[in-house]
A and B are shown apart, each in its own frame.
Chain A
Amino acid sequence: EAEVAQSPRYKITEKSQAVAFWCDPISGHATLYWYRQILGQGPELLVQFQDESVVDDSQLPKDRFSAERLKGVDSTLKIQPAELGDSAMYLCASSLLDLEAFFGQGTRLTVV
C-alpha cells in the first residue's frame, strides 16, 4: 500500500542551527501539506502546495521557515534558525481532490 514517506523520523538540533525535513507524497497526489503538531495539540497547517505552487502559507513563519516543492513531487521544509519553540512533530500529508489526506509518520524535532 502506498504511503507518505518522511525523513528523518527524529531530529535533535541546537538553537540557531538550520534543520530540514523531507517528504515524499503518495504517487499522483497533487496536493501536499505540511502540518506542525505541538505536544498536546492538534496539527496546524503550515503550508499547502498544489503541484509545485504554494496555495496557502498564511500560517508559515516566513522569517525562519521555508518550503519548496520544485518538481511538484517531493517537498522540503526548512527552519533557519531553529528556536526552542519549534520543538514539535512535523507532519506531511498528501491528497487527491477527494479530500482524504494521507499522513506520513512525521518528523519529531527537538531544539536544545
Chain B
Amino acid sequence: AQRVTQPEKLLSVFKGAPVELKCNYSYSGSPELFWYVQYSRQRLQLLLRHISRESIKGFTADLNKGETSFHLKKPFAQEEDSAMYYCALSKETSGSRLTFGEGTQLTVNP
C-alpha cells in the first residue's frame, strides 16, 4: 500500500528566508506526486504536481525516486505563504485516488 509522510507538523520561518517542506513516500510503482495547499478559511487546492514541472507562486518540487522524496521549496518565503500544505500521491496517471500526508502548517513571520 502507498504511504505519504510529512515529518514536520509545524514549520516556522521568517519572511525572506528559504523554506523547505519535506515529503517522503512509499510506493512500489511509478507514482504521481502533488502538493495541495489550504489557506486560512479557504478550500483545499492544488499548488503543483510533478508531471507539470511548473513553478507556482515561487514554489518548486523535485521528485527524487532514489530517496522517494518530493520536497517543496521556495527560496524566499512571503507572509502570504502561511498555510497548511499537504503532499499527495496518486498511483495512476488518470482518475486515481489521492493518498495524502498529514500536512505541514507553515507560518511565515514578518
Contacts and interface: CB of A to CB of B under 8 A. Distances in A.
A43 B95 CA distance: 17
A93 B4 CA distance: 20
A99 B95 contact: yes
B94 A99 contact: yes
Given A31-B95, A99-B32, A42 B86 contact: yes
Contacts of A105: 43
Interface string B75-92: 000000000001010100
A43 to B, nearest CB: 5
Interface stretch (A16-24, A44-52, A63-71, A73-81): A44-52
A25 interface: no
Contact of B97 (A4, A48, A98, A102): A48
A99 B103 contact: no
Interface in B57-110: 86, 88, 90, 93-103
Contacts of A95: 95
Contact of A44 (B9, B49, B94, B100): B100
Contacts of A99: 32, 49, 51, 90, 93-96
A45 B97 contact: yes
B102 A40 contact: yes
Nearest to B98: A101
A41 B102 contact: yes
Nearest to A59: B97
Contacts of A50: 95
B46 A45 contact: no
29 contacts: A4-B43, A33-B97, A33-B98, A41-B102, A41-B103, A42-B4, A42-B88, A42-B100, A43-B44, A43-B98, A44-B100, A45-B97, A45-B99, A48-B97, A50-B95, A95-B95, A97-B94, A98-B94, A99-B49, A99-B51, A99-B90, A99-B96, A100-B49, A101-B98, A102-B45, A103-B43, A103-B44, A103-B45, A105-B43
List the 6 closest A-B pairs by CB distance, nearest first: A42-B100, A103-B44, A45-B97, A97-B94, A103-B43, A42-B102
